[in-house]
Each structure stands twice: as structure tokens, then as C-alpha cells.
Structure 1
């Protein structure tokens, strides 16, 4: 299964970056290319359950995700249902003198045809996920 990690830097302060990354309620409006559909199922304190369509590469993943946040340090996404059930994505935000370092760890658990395809396309998934993060960073820096 595709597992990958990478880091990015953003010139904005950590609170600004965190707010963009944890604003999953507006992913569909802000990032329609990657999130064509978002439906909030419940929000309680720092935990939200969200139905999401996530375009990753040539695949559209239909998932139920549990977002857990620790403001402004951490955003965890646990996929609790759908095409990538069992996946975990963690975004950590580290304040630096010049902005924010974003550490991303992705562990995708794909099913069916996507599972077979993932054996040959780990780099494609990583490149596409990095593109998603780059778009988040552009919004945070503007």
C-alpha cells in the first residue's frame, strides 16, 4: 500500500496555515479540483466526521473520514469507511522563524482496482497529494 512522507514550507504563520488545513467544511468550495463533494456528518469539539470525495491522481476516492485536530499543531484524518478505509493522513505544523514547516505522513489503504493500481503508482499518489498540499499553501500565503 502507498506510504509516503514529505515536508513543505509556507511563509505564513502557523495559525493561518492550520486554519486553512483544518477548514474541511470549505474544502469543496476552496479546492473543487480535489474535493468535488464534502458533507459534514457531525462535529464535536475537535472531532468531525465528514463524507468526502477526494480526487487523487486518476482516482476518485469516496470516503468517510474522521478529522481530529489539535490546534494549531496537528490535523489527523482517519478514514473510517469507503474506498480507503483504514488509511491515515497526518499533517503536523511546526512554527519556524520564517513561517511554518508542514510535515505530512500518508498511509493509504486502498481497495479493489485501486489497490492493484497502487502497487504501480505510489509516486503518482505522492505527487498528487503534494499538489493538494501546494494548493493549500498557496491559499495560506495569500
Structure 2
């Protein structure tokens, strides 16, 4: 039996333009090359405003096989990632991209659904913050 979603947020400032940051974070195939959270991505459907992928995600010490819908309607300001099937169905991550002096601020809001005792809130927040830090290191090098 599951419980309500774990909720949290994290943010980071990256010295790169909004388009570069958005393009990397919203493309999980590319993102999987710089961080271990996205283990495997298989594109199922792609349209200008959305994409549906089968993704294997390693988060909070657990592996999740999920069907994920990415929404690009508000690109490059907002990227929404919703789990529509699989181990974490009903989970979502919303990333907001704001232009700031010298770069981009990324605000990530996480609502993750998992089985009882799957992981602690600090684990998911640590993993999501590490993902954003890897994006920062990749784009600022």
C-alpha cells in the first residue's frame, strides 16, 4: 500500500542561457549521459508539445520503471515531467527556468509517489539537487 506523494523543492543558479539549460534538462536521453538518475530512456512518441518515454529511473536508492510524459508547451520557461504509468505513477516534477543576471535560475518542484518505505524525503531531494548540480557543472565547464 502506498502513501501520499513526497513533496519538496530545490533550486540552482547556472551560468548559461535559458535555452541551453532547458534543452539539456528536458532531454532525458542527453541528461542520462551526465547523471546516474536517468538510467535508460526509450522514446515512444514525440510531438512538438510533448513526448512519451519509457524510462528507468534510480532515485532514493530504488529503481523505478516508468512511462513518462514530458510537456514542452511553455518552453523554455517550464518543463513538466509526469509519470503516467509504472512504479511511480502519479508522480510529477516541474522545472521553471528564469533568466537572471549572468545565467538561469532553475526551480524544481517534486511530487513523487512510491510504495510505503521506498525512500526518505531527504534522499529524493539529495538526488534531485545532485542532478541540477551535474547540469550546472556540465554547462559551466
3-state SS, counterpart of residue 45 of structure 1: coil
Superposed CA deviations along residues 46-99 of structure 1, whole A, max 9, x for unmatched, are 200000011113111111100001221111001001111001100000000121
Richer in helix (by share) = 1
Superposed CA deviations along residues 90-140 of structure 1, whole A, max 9, x for unmatched, are 0000000121110000000113xxx3233xx11111111111121122222
3-state SS, counterpart of residue 117 of structure 2: helix
Residue 116 of structure 1 corresponds to 117
Q: Does 1:141 align with 2:135?
A: no
Gaps of 5+ in 2: none
Gaps of 5+ in 1: none
Alignment of 1:1-142 (within 5 A): 1-28=5-32, 30-31=33-34, 33-69=36-72, 70-111=74-115, 115-118=116-119, 121-142=120-141
- Greater relative contact order (CA < 8 Å, ≥ 6 in sequence): 2
Aligned length: 136
1:57–1:65 distance in 2 versus 1, CA, 3 Å: same
Conserved 8 A contact 1:27-1:38:
no
C-alpha RMSD over aligned residues: 1.4
Structure 1 runs (4+) deviating above 3 angstroms are none
